[in-house]
Copies of this chain bind each other. A is one copy, B any other.
């Protein structure tokens, strides 16, 4: 762990215990050491231990049993994981319904009366947005002529310098001149794809994969080759090798650290193997690492880029999932495609907005970002678990839910025959947005899956919204039953 020193001892203690729970050193149902004993063992005050237990309780990791002590909370273990697809698909154009489904999702996001469980962003209450906006205000007053010039690619030097510094804690050495700042990770992915492939080319992606990647592939006239992915370990590398043998593939797009929608984290050995496979076929890997800082057990998993010896991994990141989606601050470290990416950026957006970049650079240079990340990870870990329990309680029997170790989305498999697109439509009429499974596939697989974002606090509209989704799913199961009965 390459993090800056923790400000408060209780936070450090809570983080350690949280890791112990995440890694299974402390199991669900087990009793934690008594407050007095832990204080003695760790040579700290009783108050410190109590504070750290409060943090863990708030994160949903432990619970207090009156007169008995503190216990590791039981996970909603009855819930099975969703299943992975069995086979890869042949290269295919992205089905038009993906774009339709995404448009519905974005449209819903613009309606403040709809609970946005379909879109992956963290609620403002969990972000340091007020502090960041204050920083922006201060910079706008002090650097009074900032914004009067184009910060043409590769983008603001101070931001790139901070990224180079942070790369060290990702296990990487990337010089600031090897970054290009972008309008969120979205622009970075498009730039990367445009740099390494052209219309007609086949791109290997995880199945299921983030719909934004499919839209990018589609908009560039490329094809997707869907490689099955496991909810815990990510892309099936045997299947990938088969696919590479059976036809030409131009590039691989993947999220090795907390994939979307699965939440899978690829083990280091698999990462190493994936990079080896890419090298053998001389393929670029476009690695979307936007969730890499949100792994619950506190160790920052290394990106694929850490295993890359010849600049073939184009690393993409942003602060949209951790700081401020609306700042549109992202980046790409394009490896050997540096010059191509810079030139594409000239005619794609020319430059990023200066002041938001300055504010983010300033925030990253303070210790505030690491501190915030620790709190955010704890919070999301607990929140995700509450959503899982809520889904388990509200959804019909046979529903399966992912149990990711990071990020804030859940991948939910509904009983066979339940149509996720119909669920999306019905839910919208009742004020709830959800992302239907078929938009996570070029060939509209995952008809009976949905992705639920857990970025909103559980208490309040989100809890009711999950119940509504569960009711609709139950109605659809029942109707299916009636239809079968009638047949």
Q: Which residue of B lies closest to A116 (CB)?
A: B149
Q: A349 in the interface, Cβ–Cβ < 8 Å? A: yes
A240 within 8 A of B: no
Partner of A148, one of B152, B325, B355: B325
| Closest CB in chain B relative to A191 CB, distance in Å | 10
A444, CB-defined interface residue at 8 Å: no
Binds B, one of A18-26, A48-56, A135-143, A281-289: A135-143
Q: Is the beta-carbon distance between A150 and B119 smaller than 8 angstroms?
A: yes
Please tell me if the beta carbons of B152 and A109 are within 8 angstroms of each other in the complex.
yes
A124: Cβ under 8 A from any B Cβ: yes
Grouping DSSP codes into helix (H, G, I), strand (E, B) and loop, the A interface class, with mixed when no group exceeds half, is helix
Assess whether B194 is in contact with A219, with CB atoms less than 8 Å apart: yes
| Pick from B124, B141, B150, B320: contact of A109, CB under 8 Å | B150
A190's nearest neighbour on chain B, judged by CB, is B348
Shortest distance in angstroms between A154's beta carbon and chain B's nearest beta carbon?
Answer: 9
Bound complex: CA A105 to CA B277 (Å): 39
Are B136 and A347 closer than 8 Å at their CB atoms? no
User: What chain B residues lie within 8 Å of A189 (beta carbons)?
Assistant: 347
Nearest chain-B residue to A344 (Cβ)?
B219
Q: Is the CB of B353 within 8 A of A327?
A: yes
In the bound complex, residues from chain B placing their C-beta under 8 Å from that of A144 are 129-130, 133
In the complex, what residues of B have CB within 8 A of residue A141's CB?
A: 133-134, 137
**Residue from A136, A218, A350 with most neighbouring chain B CB atoms (10 Å):** A350
B324 touches A148 (CB 8 A): yes
Interface string of A354-367 (1 = CB under 8 A from B): 11100000000000
Residues in B with CB closer than 8 Å to A133 are 140-141, 143-147, 355
Q: Please, how many angstroms separate the alpha-carbon atoms of A215 and B132 in the complex?
A: 36
A355 and B212 within 8 A (CB): no
* A103 on the B face (CB < 8 A): yes
**A121 on interface, CB distance cutoff 8 Å:** yes
Question: Could you tell me if B343 and A355 are in contact, using CB atoms closer than 8 angstroms?
Answer: no
Q: Which residues of chain B are near A216, meaning CB under 8 Å?
A: 347
Whether A151 contacts B326 by the Cβ 8 Å rule is: yes
Assign chain A's interface to a size class: 35 or more
Once A133-B140, A138-B137, A356-B356 are accepted as A-B contacts, the answer to whether A148 and B346 lie under 8 Å apart by CB is no
Q: Is the CB of B326 within 8 A of A148?
A: yes
A351: which B residues are within 8 A, CB to CB?
184, 325-326, 328
The residue from B121, B148, B326, B346 contacting A129, defined by CB atoms under 8 A apart: B148
A342 at the interface (CB under 8 A from B): yes
Does A187 sit at the interface, judged by CB under 8 A? yes
- Interface set, chain A 211-243, CB cutoff 8 A to B: 212, 215-216, 218-219, 221
A99 to B438, CA, bound (A): 40
Say yes or no for A391: interface residue by CB 8 A criterion. no
Q: Is A279 an interface residue (CB 8 A)?
A: no
Question: Within the assembled complex, what's the spacing in Å between the Cα atoms of A190 and B187?
Answer: 13
Q: Give min CB distance, A187 to chain B, whole Å.
A: 5
Q: Which residue on chain B has the smallest CB distance to residue A100? A: B343
Smallest beta-carbon distance A487→chain B, Å: 39
Tell whether A474 is near chain B: CB-to-CB under 8 Å: no
Is B145 within 8 A of A106, CB to CB?
A: no
A15 at the interface (CB under 8 A from B): no
Asked if A482 is at the interface (CB within 8 A of a chain B CB), the reply is no
Partner of A212, one of B138, B183, B350: B350
Answer yes or no: A352 CB below 8 A from chain B CBs. yes
Query: Does A199 have its Cβ within 8 Å of any Cβ on chain B?
Result: yes
Q: Is A110's CB within 8 Å of the partner chain B? A: yes
A198 CB within 8 Å of chain B: yes
29 A–B contacts from the bound complex (CB under 8 Å): A121-B150, A123-B148, A129-B148, A132-B147, A133-B141, A133-B145, A136-B136, A137-B140, A147-B324, A147-B325, A147-B327, A147-B356, A183-B183, A183-B349, A183-B352, A183-B353, A184-B351, A186-B346, A186-B347, A187-B349, A190-B348, A190-B349, A194-B219, A219-B348, A326-B355, A328-B352, A328-B353, A349-B349, A355-B356
In the A-B complex, the 7 residue pairs with the closest CB atoms: A124-B148, A326-B354, A147-B326, A215-B347, A137-B140, A183-B349, A137-B137
